[in-house]
Amino acid sequence: MTPEDEGFFGGLFSPGTVYTDISGDDSEFDGSIDSRTCYTDMSGSNISDTDTSSSDENSTSTAMIRFDRELRAKHRGACKNMTSGKYSKAIKMFESILSALLDRYGEEHHRVGSALHNVAVTNLRSGLLEDARDAIEEAVRIRKLTLGDDDPKVADSLVEYGIILLSMKNYNHSIEVFEDALELRQIETDEAEDSASRREAQLKKAKIRHNIGCVNFEVRRYDEARRNYMSAIQEQKAIFGTWSSAFSLAGPDTSKPGHLTMASTMCNKGYIDLEQENYREAIDTFQESLKIQKILLEADNKLILSTMTNIGYCYVRINDTDKACVIYKELVKLQSESYTEQSQRGWSQSIRKLIYCQVRLYEFEDAFDNLRLLEDYLSAKGRRTKNAANDLRRTHQLMGNVNYQIFKFPTLSDYTSRLSCTNGCGCMDDRDSVDITHWFPKKPVNGSKMSGHRMTYA
């Protein structure tokens, strides 16, 4: 075989030339992709150690048993490294598995296709997009050759291929690949032998529609994104039934990943509503998602906090300050109970929004107390953050204006009596004069979340 004939394996993963000197991102792995950043997180995806291949092997020899046992141990170790964000180690281990399978079976074997799929996902998570693309393209080819063009595992790899193309900003090709995967999922649904298998295939279909919506969201084709999100939600609800029955606290199936995927799809649809300034519809969508999230997740989970932040912003935009204030109070409470740097930053942003609402509602005493807390936070942080000095200056300025209102109208009766004053003494109601222009809540930065990343035992 000439170098030109060696193709993918000759350049990257052929036995004896497995690349192991690969650095990776050590950030936390939670099994997802954010379509706006193409490398951040999403709740609800799974890494599974699914033993579907070893049963296909008929050999009962000691050597074969030992071979499979060693590969299974490597697979578990690789998945553990993925979960903890140690991508460079995971890449080395998955490539080691691939090399061993190539030595035993040659290039065209279904287990090699599974190993390449895993290598592709790991490279994607570490940001090595070209390596990920090369591996997944070969995984698709081998799986089609060894399993058949319409095998569900081909669809699995096509989903990852679509995510990789999205990460490379090849949006149109990404949609084409997802649509190919959707066709295979429909075949899988039609050929399902029992209701459980059909339900699982339908959930996978909904996830692909969800992903197509994410690609359209990324390129601001909002109407098309909305259509796909709505289709996904309709399919999910048809499977689960009404959320009130499917997500009751006594329900046996609320821990299944599909439920959280449905909540994430709802959030993505809510992002579209928000972008198109359909704030009331966005609130309804986010609230429905939040009810599901609060059953499935811890109270301070970042998905819950993000959804609440979006709800608060929408209430501000429709001038329902009372409800916005309730949301921001809960956010401040949840974030204050965590001492991580990320939670503290979130707390400082939420308390600013709460202060804005309290000033709007003339709750000056409460606003002043929260301004003191913010002042303490900014003072402690000032030496480390360049913007802290400017934020602290604005905090002091607002503290002075709020304090003036407190002393001008210390009680409600005093405020009422002064309101009727006609002496021109300057005690007329000027509570709306407090300048909170710079405190108006900023629009949340939302990125639609992809659904994918299922690791399988090769």
- Are 85 and 131 found together in one domain? yes
Q: How far apart are CA 303 and CA 309, in angstroms?
A: 10
- Are 280 and 176 found together in one domain? no
Instruction: Give 256's pLDDT tier (boundaries 50, 70, 90).
Output: low
For 168-193, give one letter per residue: b (16+ CB within 10 A) or e.
bebbeebbebbebbbebbbebbeeee
What average pLDDT does the segment 145-161 reach? 95
- Are 165 and 265 found together in one domain? no
CATH number at residue 239: 1.20.58
Residue whose C-alpha is closest to residue 229's, from 165, 279, 274: 274
- Are 267 and 229 found together in one domain? yes
**Residue-number span of the structural domain to which 291 is assigned:** 194-297
Instruction: Give 451's pLDDT tier (boundaries 50, 70, 90).
Output: low
- Are 3 and 104 found together in one domain? yes
125 domain-assigned = yes
| pLDDT at position 37 over 70 | no
For 28-67, give one letter per residue: b (16+ CB within 10 A) or e.
ebbbbbbbeebeebbbbbebeeeeebbeeeeeeeeeeeeb
- Are 26 and 114 found together in one domain? yes
Express as a percent the part of the chain with pLDDT over 90. Answer: 59
- Are 118 and 9 found together in one domain? yes
85 domain-assigned = yes
- Are 264 and 215 found together in one domain? yes
pTM for the complete prediction? 0.75
- Are 1 and 109 found together in one domain? yes
Q: How far apart are CA 181 and CA 208, in angstroms?
A: 8
154 domain-assigned = yes
Residue whose C-alpha is closest to residue 47's, from 97, 104, 94: 94
393 domain-assigned = no
Instruction: Give 426's pLDDT tier (boundaries 50, 70, 90).
Output: low
Is residue 150 a contact partner of residue 20, using CB atoms and an 8 Å limit? Answer: no
CATH number at residue 71: 1.25.40.10
245 domain-assigned = yes
Q: Mind listing the pLDDT tens digit for each residue in 87-137?
A: 999 999 999 999 999 999 999 999 999 999 999 999 999 999 999 999 999
Residue whose C-alpha is closest to residue 398's, from 442, 411, 390, 349: 390
Domain total in the chain: 2
Task: Kindly report each contact of residues 83-87 with a partner whose C-beta sits within 8 Å and lies 24 or more positions away, as own/partner.
Answer: 83/29, 83/47, 84/28, 84/29, 85/25, 85/26, 85/27, 85/28, 85/29, 86/24, 86/26, 87/24, 87/25, 87/26, 87/29, 87/122, 87/125, 87/126
Handedness of CA 350, 354, 360, 365 (dihedral sign): negative
Instruction: Give 408's pLDDT tier (boundaries 50, 70, 90).
Output: confident
- Are 92 and 223 found together in one domain? no
Mark which of 266, 297, 328 sits at the end of a domain: 297
Is residue 102 a contact partner of residue 14, using CB atoms and an 8 Å limit? Answer: yes
- Are 88 and 159 found together in one domain? yes
Instruction: Give 388's pLDDT tier (boundaries 50, 70, 90).
Output: confident
275 domain-assigned = yes
Mark which of 270, 297, 324 sits at the end of a domain: 297
403 domain-assigned = no
Residue whose C-alpha is closest to residue 444's, from 265, 303, 281: 303
Q: Mind listing the pLDDT tens digit for each residue in 343-380?
A: 788 899 999 999 999 999 999 999 999 999 999 998 88
Q: Mind listing the pLDDT tens digit for each residue in 202-240?
A: 999 999 999 999 999 999 999 999 999 999 999 988 888
Mark which of 267, 297, 327 sits at the end of a domain: 297
118 domain-assigned = yes
